[in-house]
Amino acid sequence: MVIEAEENRRDFLILATGAVGVAGSAAAAWPFIRSWSPSADVLALATTEADLSALTEGQMITIPWQGKPIFILYRTAEQIAQAKEADSASLPDPEQDKDRVHKEQYLVLLALCTHLGCVPQPIGTGDFGGFLCPCHGSHYDTSGRIRKGPAPKNLPVPYYTFKDDHTIVIGKPV
Amino acid sequence: MSKLMEWVDARIPVSDMIKSQATEYPTPKNLNYWWNFGSLALFMLIIMILTGLFLAMHYKPDAKQAFDVVEHIMRDVNYGWLLRYLHANGATFFFIIIYVHIFRGMYYGSYRAPREILWWIGVIIFFLMMGTGFLGYVLPWGQMSYWGAAVITNLITAVPVIGEDLVIWVWGGFSVDDATLNRFYVLHFLLPFVIFALVIVHMWALHAVHSNNPDGIDIVDEKKDTLPFHPYFTIKDLYGIGVLLIIYCWFVFFAPNAFLEPDNYIPANPMQTPAHIVPEWYFLPFYAILRSIDFLGSFSKLAGVIAMVGAILVLFVLPFLDRSPVRSFRYRPLSRSLFWIFVANSIMLGWVGYNPADATAFDGALPLIILGRTGTAIYFGYFVMLFIVTAFKIEKPLPLPKSL
Ligand code: HEM
Ligand code: FES
């Protein structure tokens, strides 16, 4: 004979056990998942300082920030003019040159191609007078904007500030 | 001895198992040499695990030490050069064998009922092998290791919304670095054992439905159509292993770097990408498919990744796309032509993947990107055409033999 109250009780217990099991496993998985996220010492290396006083017009340096390359280019007047001219061209990822620099002469870029993360080659290697990514042929202009090739976005401008006229601090302190 | 076996068999029936599943296991008598590649793959897996374990006893997964420690294995460890060259070239031969094994299944219709699950387990193993090969290639921490890892992990950023955060989680930092190398090493160590477990399931499924054969017809009379596995196929498999060992060892001893990239003997440098990144050869057709989608503006990246992953995933639905009443392409002239176009196209795609993205052929007359796009269309076209040709009965299969 089936006792209905007993049946309901059993169904409830099975459901409750299942729910606790699933929630418990999910909670227990969290520390394991989080252990893959950047550790405290990695996060602590959030900023990098660079001295630009030795940089002359037309010169470019590469410095590491969080293990990634940063291009700092002292742009020539011609390169600045080229960048401004292209403001009105049809851009895959439209941005004005003035929104991508703090001081017109210094172009600061996170030098990882927005396609699949290769480091583009130095200034002057690509069409549009800019940077060529050798991996799959993306061309960036003298403002680091994508102009041609598979990359979807402009080279990102990292967060940076000028500590004084010649010292740049890249990254936000955490 | 027999007393001992009796004692064991009363507790765990080993003799029965060996008899029914190995020595006396009925095997179609008409299997050709393309059926050797399964046992060859198992042989390679064992070689990879063995050499890998002994390499692991010297290797250090540390971004500051990894490159040097591989050189230390090559120069200082007794027979370390042999272990490494066996392992590095072993990956190449493992993949050659697996590709033949997969093409064999596609040609003789081995993915058709009742072998769908057997086929799916195979595709999963292939997937995990690609993962293992990729992870292993990162370990020597040369320029190709580093930039291969950077490019492939960056595919994750194509995932909408969470892509950027996901890749940081995978890296354990803001770029491919020490944390990445360490976890990749652990996964590279683990996955082959997962593969091994899946191979056992693969064999289980195989022995439940039995081998297909070149004629693709079912066994009618077990007595007439099959032979016991031992000694007929043990000896045939051993012969295959002998041939494999001659070719494999020739490379290991006389051209050990034929499949390795010179750039990978330059230590990883996160500040500079080599002029031309190429993945290991066994990824090239898929790499070409990834790169061929570059005409969709800002959707190109995601679309390229979807096409590349889709190129493997489509193998899962193959059993349902092929609607022919006949399994083996021996008796299916149209499917057979499609198949050979598919094989030639895969090799062509591999060649496109090997070349720089902006390369051209015939003195600049033919940009390779055009070939890449065409090849991608043909790759997926194969599956569409196979469906059309069979579902709408366009193909008239030849008469099948009555028995093997
Ligand atoms: C499915 C089987 C496997 C495949 C396809 C595979 C593939 C690879 C590849 C392509 C490399 C890079 C070789 C080079 O360029 O030097 C490598 C390196 C390595 N693998 Fe494996 N592997 C497998 C199994 C294993 C196993 C089971 C272990 C350990 C238990 C292992 C440990 C290592 C170590 C320590 C290295 C770094 C040393 C070196 O670069 O030669 N592998 N593997
Ligand atoms: S990574 Fe730069 S074009 Fe692909």
* Residue B147 CA: distances (Å) to CA of A117, B29, B199: 9, 49, 31
Residue B197 to residue B190: CA distance in whole angstroms: 11
Q: Name A107's bridge partners.
A: A73
Residues B270 and B283 in one domain: no
Residues B237 and B310 in one domain: no
Q: Binning pLDDT at 50, 70 and 90, where does residue A134 land?
A: confident
Residues B291 and B320 in one domain: yes
Would you tell me how many other CB atoms lie within 10 Å of the CB of residue B42?
17
Asked if the model's pLDDT at residue A1 lies above 90, the reply is: no
Residue B35 to residue B240: CA distance in whole angstroms: 10
Residues of A in Cβ contact (< 8 Å) with B153: 117
pLDDT at A174: 64
Q: Is residue B70 part of a domain?
A: yes
Determine the angle formed by the axes of helices B284-292 and B333-354, rounding to 10 degrees: 80
Contact (Cβ atoms closer than 8 angstroms) between residue B98 and residue B45: no
pLDDT less than 70: residues of chain B: none
The domain that contains B153 carries what CATH number? 1.20.810.10
Q: What residues of A act catalytically?
A: 136
Residues B295 and B251 in one domain: no
Q: Mean pLDDT, to the nearest integer, of A71-83? A: 95
Distance from CA of B100 to the nearest CA of A (A): 30
Ligand 2, pocket residues at CB < 6 Å: A 113, 115-118, 133, 135-138, 149-151
Q: Is residue B16 part of a domain?
A: no
Contact (Cβ atoms closer than 8 angstroms) between residue B307 and residue B290: yes
Residues B127 and B251 in one domain: yes
CA–centroid distance, A39 to ligand 2, in Å, is 28
Q: Is residue B242 part of a domain?
A: yes
| Closest by Cα among A141, A127, A86, A133 to A114 | A133
- Residue B228, classed as helix, strand or coil, is strand
Residue B362 to residue B46: CA distance in whole angstroms: 44
Q: Which two tokens stand for residue B172?
A: 């354990």
Asked if the model's pLDDT at residue A155 lies above 80, the reply is: yes
Q: What residues of B act catalytically?
A: 207, 211, 236-237, 280
Residues B181 and B65 in one domain: yes
Q: Mean pLDDT, to the nearest integer, of A113-128? A: 89
- Residue B403, classed as helix, strand or coil, is coil
Q: Which two tokens stand for residue B32?
A: 């050709």
* Residue A79 CA: distances (Å) to CA of A141, A162, B293: 9, 22, 31
Domain boundary among B275, B305, B322: B275
- H or E element in which residue A147 lies: strand A146-148
Q: Mean pLDDT, to the nearest integer, of A86-112? A: 92
Question: Could you check whether the bond before residue B114 is cis, i.e. omega within 30 degrees of 0?
Answer: yes
Residues B201 and B221 in one domain: yes
Residues B259 and B298 in one domain: no
Q: Which two tokens stand for residue B359?
A: 């390369």
Q: Is residue B125 part of a domain?
A: yes
Partner-chain residue, chosen from B151, B177, B293, that has the shortest CB–CB distance to A67: B177
Range of the domain at B356: 278-404
Domain boundary among B234, B259, B275: B275
Q: Mean pLDDT, to the nearest integer, of A44-65? A: 91
Number of domains observed in the structure of chain B: 2
Domain boundary among B223, B251, B275: B275
pLDDT at B242: 97
Asked if the model's pLDDT at residue A172 lies above 90, the reply is: no
pLDDT at A149: 85
Residue B251 identity (one-letter amino acid): F
Neighbouring residues of B390: CB distance < 8 A, sequence distance ≥ 6: B321, B322, B323, B324, B335
Q: Is residue B18 part of a domain?
A: no
